[in-house]
Amino acid sequence: MAMDAISVIRTKRDRGELSDAQIDWVIDAYTRGEVADYQMAALNMAILLNGMNRREIARWTAAMIASGERMEFSALSRPTADKHSTGGVGDKITLPLAPLVAACGAAVPQLSGRGLGHTGGTLDKLESIPGWRALLSNEEMLHVLDTTGAVICAAGDGLAPADKKLYALRDVTGTVEAIPLIASSIMSKKIAEGTGSLVLDVKVGSGAFMKTIEDARELASTMVGLGTDHGVKTVALLTDMSTPLGLTAGNALEVRESVEVLAGGGPADVVELTVALAREMLDAAGVKDADPAKALADGSAMDVWRRMIAAQGGDPDAQLPTARERHVVTAPSSGVLTRLDAYDIGVAAWRLGAGRARKEDPVQAGAGIEMHAKPGDTVTAGQPLLTLHTDTPERFEYALESVDGSYDIAPTGTDFKATPVVLERIA
- What's the DSSP call for residue 231? T
Spatial CA neighbour of 248 closest among 262, 264, 267 = 267
CA distance readout (Å), 249 to 35, 87, 129, 375: 40, 13, 16, 16
Catalytic residue among 170, 233, 307, 351: 170
Other beta carbons within 10 Å of 356: 17
84 given a catalytic annotation: yes
59 given a catalytic annotation: no
For residue 413, which amino acid is it? Answer: G
Q: How far apart are CA 250 and CA 369, in angstroms?
A: 6
Catalytic residue among 82, 91, 124, 163: 163
Q: How far apart are CA 94 and CA 83, in angstroms?
A: 8
Burial of 405 (0-12, 13-18, 19+ CB in 10 A): exposed
- What's the DSSP call for residue 116? B
Catalytic residue among 85, 184, 185, 258: 185
211 given a catalytic annotation: no
Catalytic residue among 114, 125, 189, 203: 189
Alpha-helical (H) ranges within 286-341 are 292-297, 300-311
163 given a catalytic annotation: yes
Catalytic residue among 59, 84, 92, 203: 84
**Where in the sequence numbering do the catalytic residues fall?**
84, 163, 170, 185, 189
